[in-house]
Amino acid sequence: MDICKDLIGGQWVGASDHGSFETRDPAHVDAVLATFPSATAADAERAVAAAAEAFPGWAATPAPARGAILFRAAELVDERFEEIATTLTREEGKTLAEARGEVTRARDILRYYAGEGWRRAGEVLPANAPSAMLFSKREPLGVVAVITPWNFPIAIPAWKIAPALAYGNAVVFKPASATPLTALKLVECLQDAGLPAGVLNFVTGSGAAVGETLAASPFVGGLTFTGSHGTGAGIYRKATEHFARVHLEMGGKNPTIILDDAELGLAVKLAVMGGFGLTGQSCTATSRVIVEDGIADRFAAALAEAAAALRVGDGLDEGVQMGPAVSADQLATDLDYIAIGKKDGAELLAGGGRAGAGGHFLQPTVFDHVDAGSRLAQDEIFGPVVGIVRARDLDDAIAKANSVGYGLAASVVTDDLRRALTFVDRIEAGVVKVNEPTTGLALQAPFGGFKLSSANTFKEQGPSAIEFYTRTKTVYVTYG
């Protein structure tokens, strides 16, 4: 068991009188992986102060030099690749193959934003008079607070921290308490790459003590959060009281529409990938499959068979295709929704119970004949529970897909280009896919949702990140 510390102002700080908390292996619940400080509000305030002190020097550092540090951090992630991936699997539960994919993504994000140090950060515009210049320049916000969830414990921190640093901000980072050890590995790579003291601060603890303090701090110029809608809404209210810039990503209830011309094997493959990959613990996971009546019976039988064939177990074991739920609480939530589905009259086709002892394992679960207005079809479950909703035609399928409060990701499976593009035009989601699973994102593309999935302000990733992490200054110069 590791005894880990927080990072404040360049100093590693151990647990105070307020104690510590443990992180455990969800596949072996008796295995304690590490302990972390239960930071206080005062600790969070010290981290903000340290970031504010470090900010001017970091902002004045030439952007190519900032990028060079991010590139070196990417190299360190590569050097420590297997250690980080194994830690991720042991702490979060996803399979080792999935963990390796996530670490690869984090490394590539660092490389991408390292390159931002050599790209333009403003533009020259035509002036209205002779002997004059008119141009804009991008400047950092100052101190940025980063609050991340447990389901992607290195990729999501990377896609928030890397652009924040690349554009000259100082960062206070609060990881999810379920997965701080993986997050710490990223922080160590960034520190070892040469970040100056105070530019990146790492503070672990409860949302009430740390998260709310960061949101309420008048010295935080920007806050980026990924997590539940309820928590995000509370953070938004606190942060905007002092006019901080806020970015939120807050979950989804993502549909895959299967049209009756779809190739059955592809449709089942995509539903399995989207619904049961990552144990369904992804904000873009497929939790609803809306199927045209003409193919519904055959699809339901094939999906149930595929789900029942998946091997569930410790993600480090050879051949395991789905790992455990991250925690006892998440497992209990999954089981509660299975009970709700049964009570509401949905037909259980596969799974529905626990899958073995020793860990938070759940059978991949499929319900058929799910009512589009039921809780099983409306609520974000965040587990490997997929509900099949039947639809008369494309219009009915799109209406049912749009009938939820969320609007993060959606996909359609069809061989008909006209119907595919009709879906693209009419679906209410920020990420839209054709003949692909709802999960999986390109780091160079904007990411963000509609409706309750987002604050509907800024997008993440790719070139869009500069919009959140910088502010624009317009400069007029007359020289004649």
Per-residue pLDDT reduced to its tens digit, 248-280:
999 999 999 999 999 999 999 999 999 999 999
Q: Is the pTM of this model over 0.95?
A: yes
Give residue 415's pLDDT band: very low, low, confident or very high (50, 70, 90): very high
Question: Each residue of 157-202: pLDDT tens digit?
Answer: 999 999 999 999 999 999 999 999 999 999 999 999 999 999 999 9
Q: What angle do CA 299, 412, 400 make, to 5 degrees?
A: 85
| Mean pLDDT of the 430-449 span | 97
Answer whether residue 17 shows pLDDT above 90.
Answer: no
CA distance 149 to 248: 12
Residue 2, pLDDT score: 86
CA distance 188 to 431: 32
- For 2-250+455-478, CATH number out of 3.90.245.10, 3.40.50.300, 3.40.605.10, 3.50.50.60 equals 3.40.605.10
Question: Each residue of 422-439: pLDDT tens digit?
Answer: 999 999 999 999 999 999
In this structure, what token pair is assigned to residue 244?
């901080």
SS3 3: strand
Among the listed residues 249, 292, 380, 460, the single catalytic one is 249
With CA atoms as reference, report the closest residue to 137 among 477, 471, 479, 478: 471
Residue 364, pLDDT score: 98
With CA atoms as reference, report the closest residue to 118 among 164, 54, 71: 71
| Mean pLDDT of the 430-457 span | 96
Q: Are 427 and 230 in contact (CB under 8 A)?
A: no
| Catalytic (active site) residue 283 | yes
Task: Provide CATH 3.40.309.10 ranges for the chain.
Answer: 254-434
Give residue 357's pLDDT band: very low, low, confident or very high (50, 70, 90): confident
Residue 319, pLDDT score: 96
Residues 282-317: b if buried by 16+ CB within 10 A, e if exposed: bbbbbbbbbbbeebbeebbebbbebbeebebbbbbe
Most confident of the ranges 10-24, 118-132, 382-396: 382-396
Task: Provide CATH 3.40.605.10 ranges for the chain.
Answer: 2-250+455-478
> At 292, phi and psi to the nearest 5?
-65, 145
Give one word for 442, left, alpha or beta, with left for phi > 0 and alpha for psi -120 to 50: beta
Q: How many CA atoms lie within 13 A of 126 on its CB side?
A: 1
Residue 282, pLDDT score: 97
Give residue 356's pLDDT band: very low, low, confident or very high (50, 70, 90): confident
Answer whether residue 295 shows pLDDT above 90.
Answer: yes
CA distance 121 to 102: 29
Answer whether residue 399 shows pLDDT above 80.
Answer: yes
DSSP E strand stretches across 236-326: 245-249, 254-258, 286-292
Residue 427, pLDDT score: 98
Residue 16, pLDDT score: 75
| Mean pLDDT of the 366-391 span | 98
DSSP letter, residue 445: S
Give residue 108's pLDDT band: very low, low, confident or very high (50, 70, 90): very high
With CA atoms as reference, report the closest residue to 4 among 204, 199, 174, 161: 204
| Catalytic (active site) residue 249 | yes
In this structure, what token pair is assigned to residue 145?
């607070």
Question: Each residue of 300-329: pLDDT tens digit?
Answer: 999 999 999 999 999 999 999 999 999 999
Q: How many residues does the chain have?
A: 480
Residue 224, pLDDT score: 98
DSSP letter, residue 152: S
Answer whether residue 94 shows pLDDT above 90.
Answer: yes
How is domain 254-434 classified at the architecture level of CATH? 3-Layer(aba) Sandwich (3.40)
Residues with Cβ < 8 Å from 221, sequence gap 6 or more? 141, 142, 143, 144, 169, 244, 245
Among the listed residues 91, 102, 283, 292, the single catalytic one is 283
The share of the chain scoring above pLDDT 90, in percent, equals 96
